[in-house]
């Protein structure tokens, strides 16, 4: 039931990285509790013809979580997702050998509301192909559609099926309760999300220093191969939507993040005090044309007023879902109906976003690359991109 025809398979495909490096990915989970880290690492890899591509959505529970988030009956949603997406892989080789020999800059990535660690693979794979190590965090603040940690099985449970004495404890998306103020919940969640990004940073740096890290997931990946391969002076944070707010919160809390990129940021969760103390590091806002509104944009402008290292651009013809992978694996009709696709070709949109990101990262991480060929995009100059915003701010400013 989960397979589709090979022609369909090729047509609806997450784009491969365009940089010089092959890309591998692997999952890392620490500690047998919700307080541990959980992330998918994308990295420059050795050629790995024998390794299979990673499954895009690795467990059926993610389909259940997406169903909850979209207000579908779980039984219906799970069957639909399994049928249409069950065989989708992402173009990164699972557990491929890490490519040593140079120090790579590090990028921490934060997902949006109702998302999880695997569904921004087009962005993460492109960054890895261009020579970044990317740690895509899976947040456990109940903003992901679903996530899990491992816990010891109780003695009473049968263990014939597996030799492992561990089991997955699932955490699903939490909806707002009746009468609950959204800002209060989201503010609390964004604090946890920022701490999880900093925790992921600390974890990767610990591995880089040669410390042994216990991965509670069974994996053949050699984590020791990362030793001395992270450029600890070149670290940035990136995220989409709620992840964009998480970028801002993380920059305000952690100076080791030298700059940040917020993709179609949702500003509601951002703390008031951040506007007072301000974020010192350079920050790039890349917005879609259809998602933004005046109040949200004004908050971005408040954060970036009179700072030439804070930039904002808008990609024409894009929607909020032009950044996650769903835009690539949905057909035209479903894509338009669920607003997963905008008027612009999804591949062109993600290229603009990635190229602007790479140019910004080169400048503010002092990279010796050729990403500066895309510098004009950071200023909103080029096909299908404008500087600042398409939103009319005059009525909001007059209020």
Residue 166, pLDDT score: 87
- The CA angle 17-224-203, to the nearest 5 degrees, is 75
- Out of 129, 145, 241, 252, the active site residue is 241
In DSSP notation, 346-388 reads: HHHHHHHHHHHHHHHHHHHHT--SSGGGGHHHHTT-STTEEES
- Taken in order 24, 91, 64, 263, the sign of the CA dihedral is positive
In eight-state DSSP terms, residue 98 is B
Q: Please answer whether residues 17 and 126 qualify as being in contact, where contact means their C-beta atoms are separated by less than 8 angstroms.
A: yes
264 is catalytic: yes
Structure-block tokens of residue 259: 């700059």
Rounded Cα distance, 334 and 317, in Å: 17
Which residues in 307-332 are b (16+ Cβ under 10 Å) and which e?
eeebbbbbbbbbbbbbbbbbbbbbee
Please compute, for residue 198, the number of CA atoms within 13 A of its CA located in the half-sphere on the CB side.
Answer: 16
Confidence at residue 4, expressed as pLDDT on a 0 to 100 scale? 40
* Cα–Cα distance for residue pair 363/366, rounded to 1 Å: 5
Residue 12: per-residue pLDDT = 76
Residue 157 confidence (pLDDT):
59
pTM for the complete prediction?
0.94
Q: Which of 320, 322, 351, 353 is catalytic?
A: 320
Going by their DSSP bridges, the two strands 53-55 and 38-45 should be labelled as unpaired
Tell me the torsion sign for CA atoms 301, 304, 308, 309: negative
pLDDT of 337-390, one tens digit each? 778 999 999 999 999 999 999 999 999 999 999 999 999 999 999 999 999 999
**DSSP secondary-structure letter at 161?**
S
What are the average pLDDT values for consecutive 10-residue runs of the chain, which has 399 residues? 39 90 97 90 92 96 96 94 93 97 97 98 98 98 97 69 78 95 97 98 98 93 97 98 98 97 98 89 98 97 90 98 96 80 96 98 98 98 97 68
Per the residue annotation, which of 27, 264, 325, 351 is the catalytic one?
264
Known catalytic membership, residue 6: no
CB 311 within 8 A of CB 364: no
pLDDT of residue 9: 44
| pLDDT single digits (tens) 24-63 | 999 999 987 889 999 999 999 998 888 999 999 999 999 9
């Amino acid at each position: 039931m989960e397979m589709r025809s090979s022609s369909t398979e090729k047509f609806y495909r997450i784009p491969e990285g365009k940089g010089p490096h092959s890309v591998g990915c692997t999952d890392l989970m620490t500690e047998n509790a919700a307080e541990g880290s959980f992330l998918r690492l994308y990295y420059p890899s050795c050629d790995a013809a024998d390794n299979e591509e990673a499954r895009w959505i690795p467990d059926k529970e993610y389909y259940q979580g997406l169903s909850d988030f979209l207000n579908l009956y779980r039984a219906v949603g799970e069957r639909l997702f399994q049928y249409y997406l069950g065989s989708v892989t992402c173009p990164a080789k699972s557990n491929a050998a890490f490519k040593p020999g140079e120090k790579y800059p590090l990028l921490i990535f934060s997902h949006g509301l109702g998302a999880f660690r695997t569904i921004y693979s087009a962005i993460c794979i492109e960054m890895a192909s261009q020579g970044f190590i990317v740690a895509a965090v899976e947040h456990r603040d109940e903003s992901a559609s679903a996530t899990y940690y491992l816990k010891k099985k109780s003695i009473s449970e049968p263990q014939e099926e597996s030799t492992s004495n561990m089991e997955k404890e699932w955490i699903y998306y939490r909806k707002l309760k009746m009468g609950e103020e959204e800002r209060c919940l989201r503010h609390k969640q964004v604090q946890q999300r920022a701490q999880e990004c900093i925790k992921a940073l600390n974890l990767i740096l610990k591995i880089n220093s040669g410390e042994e890290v216990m991965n509670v997931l069974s994996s053949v990946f050699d984590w020791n191969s990362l030793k001395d391969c992270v450029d600890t002076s070149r670290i940035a944070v990136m995220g989409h939507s709620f992840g964009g707010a998480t970028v801002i919160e993380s920059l305000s809390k952690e100076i080791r993040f030298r700059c940040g990129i917020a993709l179609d940021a949702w500003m509601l969760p951002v703390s008031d005090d951040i506007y007072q103390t301000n974020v010192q590091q350079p920050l790039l806002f890349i917005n879609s044309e259809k998602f933004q509104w005046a109040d949200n944009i004004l908050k971005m402008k408040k954060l970036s007023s009179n700072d030439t290292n804070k930039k904002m651009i808008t990609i024409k013809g894009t929607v909020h879902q032009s950044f996650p992978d769903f835009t690539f694996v949905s057909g035209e009709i479903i894509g338009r109906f669920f607003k997963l696709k905008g008027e612009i070709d999804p591949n062109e949109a993600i290229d603009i976003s990635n190229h602007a990101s790479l140019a910004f990262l080169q400048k503010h991480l002092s990279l010796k690359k050729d990403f500066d060929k895309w510098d004009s995009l950071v200023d909103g100059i080029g096909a299908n991109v404008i500087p600042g915003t398409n939103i009319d701010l005059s009525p909001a400013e007059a209020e």
